[in-house]
Amino acid sequence: MKNAGRRKAKTAVWVTPLLLLLAGCAQDAESIMGKSPLGATVAQELGGYRFHNTNSLRNVQGYAIESGNLAEPLKGRIDGSLVVVTDKDGAITAIIDRPGRRGALFVDKTGSRRFVEEPAYDYLKADTLKERAGPAQVPGADKPDKPDNDGQIDALMLFSTKALAVLNADPVAFALAQLETSNLGLRNSQVGGVSLRLAGVRVTETDLPVDGTGLVKVRDMLTPLRPVYKHDINVGYFDNSPYGGMAYVPGSASVNSIHHPLAFRHEVGHNVGGNHCNETGADNYRFGYQTSGGAHTMLCGNNIPYYSNPQVTYGGRPLGNARTADMARLWREEAGRMSGYSPAFEGTRLIYVSTQPESSAIVAFIPGRSRIGVVALSSEVGPTSLTYGGPGVTTLTAKLTGKDGVARSVNLRAMRQNSGCPRTTMNSTLVCHPDFDGGPVQLIIGYSALDNPELPPGWYNGTVTLEARNDSDPNWRAPILVSLAVLR
């Protein structure tokens, strides 16, 4: 009886991700709505504002992503927002925006906390460039009769080493939190079917300025990498911050100050094609909106977690105007372009940055006693077939690019873990106990300088493509795209 009860409980927990995987939404993983009460360390930053959680997910890499609005306690008016990303060890990256408190909160796994306030900034400062016209900038325009977009906007995020030093926390968690600030705005503004996801993280030793010159360079550096990362938008984070952010309007690239965690949700609105405030009342709905009560949507001042939408009421009045301020309409109209710069990647993304000793991702949930392992697609990278071998570490050799632009072979450590079983080599199909049948199969990627004695110091970036396979079903294959930013 006891054993049957355990198994039943386990099934209940794993049903949701299984359904999501079958639906092809591997990246969105499992809803944890209501399962993760806001920690006291974050709650003490809210100054009496009430947190209304509107989204809670755990992604395939084990990050819990939660977001919602902050309501003023007496009238319930939404005056701010909160995004919280918690990693598997309990470390927290939060982005807080409420009257009197705006910035990023970092709590490490030991509970040590650090709040970094966003400097006062005028989000109405002119901060856009016009994208060069031409099909080279909009690959989707080459094949309009075959739309390859799904409303999922995949972001490649570039951090300078100086930005990482300012952050002094996990850049993957910060990148996920950044994207969620915009996703929260889309949900609040009733824009369905459009969301932003993380495609990969790169690190550069060059701290570009957050201005027009930095923006051009980020676009020119990251756009040619679309076949590699299969991403849509290019996002840079730097320390040198003449502006809080700068973006193409319309377009697909932005640069953002690492000191301004609320900038990205504004800049990506420029990429969509939005301008600040429609002060002349012109016949053009591609603008943000401000209320007489001092609420400014993300494009028009950026102090409430909304894009303009005349269908949404705020303080009892419309938060937009169908003729002069309707960013929600623009997001819907532009979702195809924004998500169509690369074909959607149908598989699991694992993002590893050397600021962490290792990263993992769930690559499969298959019912029954399946024998699933992970293989490389080329013997120069790693083993290309499954084995029944057991414990050990697989060496993967990836071609990654250093600061001199030269691609070098970098050795990585790869392992596989089937539920609570011991770790095995990446391509092992070993299963350890029937209780773990049907559980998650994880791929674990790490890096050690010991494996790379000849590699010159510096950061190396790139991707490697792997594939999960099932020894019991030769036709089943699940692609894995690993984003690597490795520090030697």
| Nearest-angstrom CA–CA distance, 16 and 10 | 11
Closer to Zn ion by Cβ: residue 76 or 242: 242
Closer to Zn ion by Cβ: residue 299 or 480: 299
Closer to Zn ion by Cβ: residue 79 or 127: 127
Closer to Zn ion by Cβ: residue 66 or 211: 211
Closer to Zn ion by Cβ: residue 127 or 150: 127
Provide the b/e sequence for 108-132 (b: ≥16 CB within 10 Å): beeeeeeebebeebebbeebbbebe
H or E element at residue 356? none
| Nearest-angstrom CA–CA distance, 289 and 287 | 7
- Residue 288: CB minimum distance to Zn ion, A: 9
Residue nearest to Zn ion (CB): 127
- Residue 221: CB minimum distance to Zn ion, A: 22
- Residue 182: CB minimum distance to Zn ion, A: 14
Question: Treating both helix axes as pointing N-terminal to C-terminal, what angle do 264-272 and 171-188 enclose, rounded to 10 degrees?
Answer: 60
Strands (E), 243-337: 245-248, 253-257, 275-277, 287-288, 309-314, 317-319
In the range 90-129, which residues lie near Zn ion by CB under 5 A?
A: 127
Closer to Zn ion by Cβ: residue 127 or 239: 127
- Residue 189: CB minimum distance to Zn ion, A: 17
H or E element at residue 25? none
Position 383: which residue type?
Answer: P
Closer to Zn ion by Cβ: residue 68 or 273: 273
- Residue 43: CB minimum distance to Zn ion, A: 32
Contact between 28 and Zn ion by CB under 5 A: the answer reads no
| Nearest-angstrom CA–CA distance, 160 and 218 | 11
Write the interaction track for Zn ion spanning residues 430-459; mark x where CB under 5 A is met and - where it is not: ------------------------------
Closer to Zn ion by Cβ: residue 127 or 232: 127
- Residue 213: CB minimum distance to Zn ion, A: 17
In the range 124-153, which residues lie near Zn ion by CB under 5 A?
A: 127
**In the numeric block, which tokens belong to residue 284?**
């053009």
Closer to Zn ion by Cβ: residue 245 or 320: 245
The size of the chain, in residues, is: 488
C-alpha 9: how far from its chain's center? 30
- Residue 302: CB minimum distance to Zn ion, A: 8
| Nearest-angstrom CA–CA distance, 57 and 445 | 22
- Residue 235: CB minimum distance to Zn ion, A: 15
Question: How many chain residues touch Zn ion (CB under 5 A)?
Answer: 1
Long-range (24+ apart) CB contacts under 8 A made by 46-50 are 46/70, 46/82, 46/96, 46/98, 47/98, 47/100, 47/101, 48/73, 49/73, 49/79, 49/80, 49/98, 50/76
For 115: left if phi > 0, alpha if psi spans -120 to 50, otherwise beta; the answer is beta
- Residue 175: CB minimum distance to Zn ion, A: 21
Q: Which residues bind Zn ion (CB under 5 A)?
A: 127
